[in-house]
Amino acid sequence: MSECDQVIQALKKQLKARGVNYQDVAKALDLSEGSVSGFWPMAGA
């Protein structure tokens, strides 16, 4: 697994642990949910 994949998985894990979803991230960044989910495709999934 690449270092990038590891970072993405760690970020997803932290978001999930905190109950934060893509919609929450999108709102905080003033982006669409699709844009946010496109930042990290199915890395390691």
Q: Does the pLDDT of residue 43 top 70, yes or no?
A: no
Predicted TM-score (pTM) of this structure? 0.66
* 42 or 28, higher pLDDT: 28
Rounded mean pLDDT, 27-35: 93
User: Which residues are CB-contacts of 15 (< 8 A; sequence separation ≥ 6)?
Assistant: 21, 25
Round to whole Å and give the CA distance between 30 and 32.
7
Locus of tokens 């109950």: 19
